[in-house]
Structure 1
Amino acid sequence: MGSPQLTLWAAAASDSELSSTSAVGLVLAGGAVLVIAGQLLRLRLRIRRERQGGGDER
């Protein structure tokens, strides 16, 4: 998978070494993106279930 974070990391690493602060920032930003994407997927699934009349049934 060519995620933007990985391609950004590869481009930055090829030019010069990243500082540890930059590396930590990239990791935290990537984690935040994953958390937000997960929350959006859960919200989509919940809305879809409610529209189909499923409610909270599992």
Structure 2
Amino acid sequence: MTLSHFSAVLIYAVFASVVFGITQRATPRAMIRYGLFCWVLFAGSVILASWLMYFIRH
């Protein structure tokens, strides 16, 4: 199985968000909300950075 760079980053974001959620919040509800928030930030920053690199190149 071959992963693209984007799918590898999204998988990394899932694992990092799970770790951040578990270690940074006390209640299960807060863990899930913070994990989702971190995942959105990871994914959003990757998309934003890729568009920025595209416009710098062109």
How does the TM-score come out when normalised to structure 1? 0.56
Structure 2 residue aligned with 1:48: 57
Residues 5-20 of structure 1: pairs in structure 2 closer than 5 A: 5-6=14-15, 9=18, 19-20=28-29
Q: Residue 44 of structure 2 is aligned with which of 35, 39, 42?
A: 35
Larger radius of gyration: 1
Q: More helix by proportion, 1 or 2?
A: 2
How does the TM-score come out when normalised to structure 2? 0.56
**% identity of equivalent residues:** 7
- Structure 2 alignment gaps of length 5 or more: 1-7
- The alpha carbon displacement at 1:5 in A equals 2.3
Which protein, 1 or 2, shows the higher relative CO under an 8 Å CA cutoff with sep ≥ 6? 2
Q: 2:56 is paired with a residue of what secondary structure?
A: helix
- Structure 1 alignment gaps of length 5 or more: 13-17, 50-58
Q: Would you identify which runs of 4 or more consecutive aligned residues in structure 1 move more than 6 Å?
A: none
Distance in 2 between residues matched to 1:29 and 1:8, nearest whole Å: 5
C-alpha RMSD over aligned residues: 2.5
